[in-house]
Structure 1
Amino acid sequence: MALLAVASCSPAFAQSDAESASKAPVATPATSGGQGSPPPGTPSIQSSLGNYGDPGGIRAFLDAKGIDFAFTYIGEVLGNTSGGVKRGATYEGRLDATLDVDLEKLASLKGAALHAEAFQIHGRGLSGNNTMDLFTVSGIEAYPSTRLYEAWFEQKFADDKIAVRVGQLGADTEFFVSQTSTLFVSSTYGWPAITADDLPSGGPAYPLSALGTRIKVTPFDNFTVLAAIFDGDPAGPYRPGVNNPLPQVRDNSGTNFRLQDPPLVMTEAAYAYNQEKSATALPGTVKVGYFHHFGQFAALDTPITTTNYRGNDGLYGVIDQAIYRAPGTDDQGASTFLRIAATPSDRNSIDFYVDGGVSYKGLIPGRPDDTAGFSAAYGRSSPNLAQTDALTGALVHDYQALIEATYQIAILPGFTIQPDFQYIFHPGAHGVADPATGLPIRDAAIFGLRATAHY
């Protein structure tokens, strides 16, 4: 689909440009983001298409002027063979279109850049239709729509040690990110359930983003500080009888551009160690983050009250650590990740969250670019919420947990297929009733297959 779109709009540039572009290394630009998007450095299928990889030479022509575009299509079939509110299978897909402009190359504006990203989302999600779980089975699951995700301007200063970004921003592209966890299919390994469930409209994360400003400071090598302020409700508040209760429907195009809501502030410090090729120890990264929302949040006090608390806070940590490198290679071997987060119990439905796992690139001999992974996640429902449930006679929330096993097969550069298995314990944290029985939703076993093509 992406290649057809490119070919249909390409002017007739010289064939020699197309030939040279097909031989050049092509990878995902560092600004790529969003749930399920290829991480920086992902190869493109352009390198496998020869002279057809750049129809008319348009990509080479634009790249010389500092303009880079990319398309990624993710399609997947997911089905629950047991559990959930019903059994069955769904298909969903997402086409990503990104545009990056180096304004220094294009217009001699030193250190300046533009970025835009949009999604076309289609199909039916398994969580919304079958399992009704809190973690969301797929990182691309969203309400079908064509929407803007990010659109920002960035200016770098002080030899690129300071970078200021302004515009429509997604927090999940930079905050709370584990590089190891990007392998996995479940949404919670991207923007985790504790922020997705506790923040208004799920916070500024796929598929919603928000107007904001981010500053990134790198005072010395391998140490980075991020700070950002966002509009605190990307879709705007729900008003019964006035608008739709679903945030993705309240902002179905990504163009609400709200500024009138109480803000969300996020900060994060990251230290990457043993990154040099000459390092004798294995590389890793440690991150510590804090966020504060200035809005009002309904109290989960007992006895039951109608009090609102002003403000909400969260603290999190992330560790990525390589634990084995195959001799004679730079990237084959095993890596692990661990993320932990906590929020106040008196105003949040999930007050503690942890996930972690391991991935191994090149596990099977002769398959150096395949990656296998196993992970687990746990989200605890607030004890205050459980007490409120008990007092009202509702199903009592306790926790939701997940295990996932996956294997990403590199068919050719820029194209992968990925069998996946997930098992969800306590979908809806045992606090959501199966409409057919009135009992908590049963544990769900999920099998799936994802295909990803990046151009």
Structure 2
Amino acid sequence: MTAGAAGADPTYHASLLWNNEAVDTPDGTLRSGATYDSMLLAALDARIGDDTAPANGKLHISFLGVRSGLPSTNYIGDFQTASNIEAPDATRIYSAWYRQTWAHANSIQAGLIDLNTLFDVTDAAGLLLNASFGLDPTLSGNLPVSTYPEPGYGIVFGRTQGTFALNVGLFQADPTQRMGPIGQGALAIAELDYGYANNLPTQIGIGLWRYRQPNPIIAATSLTGGYINLSQSLNGSGVRHTRAFLRLGMAPGSDSPVPRHLSVGFDMSSPIATRPDDHLSIGMTSAALRGQNTETTYEATYQIALNEQFALQPDFQYITHVSGTDRNASVFILRLQLALD
């Protein structure tokens, strides 16, 4: 939904995403049963200047509403979180930032920023619902990261050169402390990408991060890690276009609860020729938990396009060694999505 005029006048764009889901676990390690999650994200963007101009700006603000039965916290007991929209009930400003671009290739962005919109993104894994297919658990499981459900303040410099892109960012160490972001330490992160900006068949992202802060109650006071993301198109676009992905994460320090992560899988668009807007995805994500068994989740999901705005997504996950224990669990999710853009 866009409105605006030519020239220097701002161009406005509004979007809305509303996910509602039922989650059932017949053998959860905490208890069996069913519950729900609901997440509403509404955003407004104002673009200043033409996209084709050497310099232009973008102002963004979004609002989040979450109501959740906390299926992983109260039922399943898994570490990696079966649903990527599970969060404590909240209504808040989600993100608010300004980005300035100049010379076509350079940008600087500052404000309340969801780190996972700029770093550690693997589009081929985006349909899967387990949270570990989003932000790597060697980040999200080791420290409070500026991402869903409560991004914090950050500043990011970006540079694009041909098929390569570089992002370098600095984020507050504890994003829940929005009223006092200074003097708490910081997360520094840098990522070099190949093929993302041009949507090439082969896409590679390599990231390094360093976390320092003074309070051991929040997280380890000093952590270092990195990640590698690879996705590869296996055939041409159109019916049954398939992309495979591989994600590796590392946080080797002795203070990291999650020293290693691995996930693999594939995404297929239009798996049925008569349904061109449907998507199928299958994946496996594994988080090594220090001193415990490795938790591994196997997931299969299918998104049924009902029309241009609505989609229905049944999802099944089987989790082994839930939170490092000897228990396993099955999870069934049925998500209804409304997307207006």
Question: What TM-score comes out, normalization by structure 2 length?
Answer: 0.92
Aligned counterparts of 1:147 and 1:77: Cα–Cα separation in 2: 23
**Contact 2:164-2:197 within 8 A present in 1 as well:** no
Equivalent AA in structure 2 for residue 268 of structure 1:
E
Alpha-carbon deviation of 1:65? Answer: 4.5
Cα drift, residue 155 of structure 1:
0.7
Query: Partner letter of residue 380 of structure 1?
Result: A
Q: State the 1:60 CA deviation.
A: 4.1
Output the CA distance in 2 between the equivalents of 1:60 and 1:414.
Answer: 20
TM alignment of 1:175-214, pairs within 5 A: 175-199=119-143, 202-214=144-156
Deviation at 1:274, TM superposition (A): 11
Q: Is the 8 A contact 2:28 2:77 kept in 1?
A: no
User: Helix, strand or coil: the match of 1:183?
Assistant: coil
Report the counterpart of residue 223 of structure 1 in structure 2.
Answer: 164
Q: Report how far residue 309 of structure 1 moved.
A: 7.2
Residues 134/310 of structure 1: CA separation in 2 closer, same or farther (3 Å cut):
closer
More helix by share: 1
What amino acid sits opposite 2:271 in the alignment? Answer: L
Q: CA deviation at 1:69?
A: 1.1
**Which of 425, 428, 431 in structure 1 is aligned with 2:323?**
428
Q: What is residue 449 of structure 1 aligned with on the other side?
A: 334
1:268 corresponding residue in structure 2: 191
Compared CA separation, residues 414 and 452, structure 1 to 2 (3 A):
same
- What SS does the aligned partner of 1:195 have? helix
Aligned-partner residue type, residue 167 of structure 2 = L
Does the residue aligned with 2:138 lie in a helix, a strand or coil? helix
Shift in Å at residue 297 of structure 1? 7.8
More strand by share: 2
3-state SS in 1 of match to 2:101: strand
Distance in 2 between residues matched to 1:374 and 1:262, nearest whole Å: 38
The answer to whether residue 201 in structure 2 is matched with residue 283 in structure 1 is yes
| Gap change, CA 1:366 and 1:88, over 3 Å in 2 | same
Inter-partner Cα distance in structure 2 for 1:311 and 1:73: 37
Shift of 1:296: 4.9
Determine the C-alpha separation between the residues in 2 that align with 1:309 and 1:359.
35
| Shift in alpha-carbon separation, 1:65–1:113, aligned structure 2, 3 A | closer
Alignment deviations for residues 155-196 of structure 1 (CA, whole Å, 9 cap, x no partner): 1111x2000001111111111110011101111111122211
In structure 1, C-alpha distance between the alignment counterparts of 2:80 and 2:16, rounded to whole Å:
27
C-alpha change, 1:203 and 1:65, in structure 2 (3 Å) is closer
Q: Provide the rounded CA distance (Å) in 2 between the counterparts of 1:95 and 1:258.
A: 26
Report the equivalent of 1:36: none
Indicate the SS of the match to 2:79: coil
Which residue pairs with 2:302 in the alignment? 407
What's 1:174 paired with? 118
**Corresponding residue for 1:354?**
262
How many residue pairs get aligned? The number is 335
**What displacement does 1:256 show?**
3.5
Structure 1, unmatched stretches of 5+, are 1-25, 27-58, 237-254, 277-281, 299-307, 387-396, 431-439
Give the Cα separation in 1 of the matches to 2:33 and 2:212.
41
Cα 1:109–1:143, aligned 2, differ >3 Å: closer, same or farther? farther
For 2:151 and 2:17, locate their aligned partners in 1 and report how far apart those are by CA, in whole Å: 19
Q: SS of the residue aligned with 2:94?
A: strand
- Which residue of the partner structure matches residue 241 of structure 2? 333
Q: Deviations over 1:388-429 (max 9, x none)?
A: xxxxxxxxx221110000000111112111000001111111
| 8 Å contact from structure 2 (residues 48, 56) kept in 1 | yes
CA contact (8 A) 1:62 1:68 kept: no
Q: In the alignment, what sits opposite 1:148?
A: 93
Is residue 2:222 matched to residue 1:311?
Answer: yes
Secondary structure at 1:84's aligned position in 2? coil
Aligned residue runs from structure 1 range 80-95, under 5 A: 80-95=25-40
Q: Distance in 1 between matches of 2:209 and 2:232?
A: 24
User: Is the contact made by 1:275 and 1:284 (CA closer than 8 Å) also made in structure 2?
Assistant: no
SS in 2 for 1:376: strand
Against the structure 1 CA distance between its residues 284 and 258, is the aligned structure 2 distance closer, same or farther, given a 3 Å change threshold?
Answer: same
2: distance between equivalents of 1:341 and 1:358?
Answer: 18
Cα offset, 1:83, TM superposition: 3.2
Which whole-Å CA distance do the structure 2 matches of 1:65 and 1:258 have between them?
30
TM-aligned CA distance change 1:410 to 1:224, over 3 Å: same
Query: Are 2:27 and 1:78 aligned?
Result: no
1:354: how far off?
Answer: 0.6
Deviation at 1:257, TM superposition (A): 5.4
The one of 281, 304, 309 equivalent to 1:373 is: 281
Gaps of 5+ in 2: none
Residues 1:123 and 1:310: Cα distance change in structure 2 (over 3 Å):
closer
The one-letter code matched in structure 2 to 1:152 is W
Distance 2:63 2:197 in 1: 36
Question: 1:61, CA displacement in angstroms?
Answer: 6.0
* Equivalent-residue separation in structure 2 for 1:62 and 1:409 (angstroms): 36
The code of the aligned residue for 1:351 comes to P
> Counterparts of 1:296 and 1:444 in 2: how far apart (Å)?
37
Normalized against structure 1, the TM-score is what?
A: 0.69
Tell whether 2:228 aligns with 1:320: no
Deviation at 1:77, TM superposition (A): 0.5
